[in-house]
Structure 1
Amino acid sequence: MSNTPQDHDLAIGTLDLGVCPALIVVDLSNGFSEPASPLGGNFDSQISQINGLLDTFRAKKLPVYFTSVVYHDETTASVFRRRLPDLDILQTSSQWVKINSKINKQSDELIIEKQWPSAFFKTQLATHLEKNAVDSIVVVGLTTSGCVRATVVDGLQHNYPVFVVPEACGDRNLSAHQASLHDMHAKYAVVMPAKDLCAHILSL
């Protein structure tokens, strides 16, 4: 029998959380996390998991960043918005760009505005991570197959060990969610349950 790609898995090495991991909460804005939004859905379970992670990171005084997609004009990310016209609701003055009130965000925690899927692309996120001596990132939020995955890949391309918490990521398409978690763990990140990740963080 020929050795086709599905006959074997690539070897996977280990990654380390280091001493200063940062939590990146991707797009928990109302536009993506409320069922009333054309971009949204019911992600109460993921919100609960994220709140638990926030408590853990704060207990160790580790950096936390939020992202929100915000459009200030008609021309930015025009191709992305032409492909997904519902993104046009994410205007700077709308309720849709605000972080969901169910998320326990503290007032001093930074919101990174972005216009494309990745939290890194044309933002100041990498600068903030470097300034705070971050040595790994934990990515959670919405959606698993879209902005979470893009942020994970870019995190790796910025040479950070990347960790993903599956219970704290959500997607409107469950098959895409599961396939993306599988693919990220196989190539770009460590997919680690919330319980294990929190225990590791608290041990730092």
Structure 2
Amino acid sequence: MALDSRSLDTAQRYALVLVDLSLGFTDPALSPLAAECSAVVEANQRLLAAFRQRGWPVFFTTVAYDDPSQARVFRSKLPVLNLLEAGSPLVAIDPRLAPQGDEPVLVKFWASAFFGTDLGERIRAAGADGVMVTGLTTSGCVRATVLDALQNELRVLVPEEAVGDRDAEAHRANLRDMQIKYADVVPLERCLALLG
């Protein structure tokens, strides 16, 4: 039996949360965590330009570890995460999406951009009641961030061209599941129209 899933009301003000668009996830030549994602980067460039023009808040995240005790169970499950050492080039935001001076890069240790960070407080302080969540990967950190955004009572949009995954099947399945339960997964052009 199908769930009665409805579209969320449009937020009055969105924050853009760019999840883990660091070189460790965007450059396959540098990292086994990465996949070819030039189209995802391009979609995020367009969103960034629109948010900056509108003056709405922008937040980046990266995963970076400087202590063996940080997220030790997560890192035990997925040892490749140990490549993401603080100070490594892999944790730097992809230069094609370089943050501006007033756009914080929040360091996280787990999947969600909200867990163990002050992202929720920052979004509220910026006066936003909704978020557009983009980045990598759809089935992991993007999904975890979307779920936590909803649990922070935020209206969530996922611009479908602005997220990606190493696993195409997982990407599609998670977009479908998020659309049903947690967010509105919509075309990039619709998100840009809200900002125009």
TM category (shorter chain) comes to: over 0.9
Partner of 1:10: 3
Partner of 2:170: 176
CA RMSD of aligned residues (A): 0.9
Matches of residues 93-172 of structure 1 in structure 2 within 5 Å? 93-172=87-166
Alpha-carbon distance between aligned partners in 2 of 1:17 and 1:102, rounded to the nearest angstrom: 29
Residue 184 of structure 2, aligned match among 175, 187, 190: 190
Matches of residues 61-72 of structure 1 in structure 2 within 5 Å? 61-72=55-66
Q: TM (normalized to structure 1)?
A: 0.93
Unaligned 5+ segments in structure 2 are none
Once the two structures are superposed, what CA deviation does each residue of 1:138-161 show, in whole Å capped at 9, x if it has no partner?
000000000000000000111111
Q: TM (normalized to structure 2)?
A: 0.97
- SS state of the match for residue 161, structure 2? strand
Residue 30 of structure 1, aligned match among 10, 23, 28: 23
How many residues matched?
A: 195
Residue 57 of structure 1, aligned match among 51, 59, 68: 51
- AA aligned to 2:20 is D
Unaligned 5+ segments in structure 1 are 1-7
Deviation at 1:104, TM superposition (A): 4.2
Structure showing greater Rg: 1
Partner of 1:3: none
Percent identity among equivalent residues? 44
- AA aligned to 2:93 is I
Alpha-carbon distance between aligned partners in 2 of 1:24 and 1:112, rounded to the nearest angstrom: 10
Once the two structures are superposed, what CA deviation does each residue of 1:64-99 show, in whole Å capped at 9, x if it has no partner?
000000101011100100111110011111001000
What stretches of structure 1 move > 2 A for 4+ residues in a row?
A: none
Alpha-carbon distance between aligned partners in 1 of 2:61 and 2:9, rounded to the nearest angstrom: 24
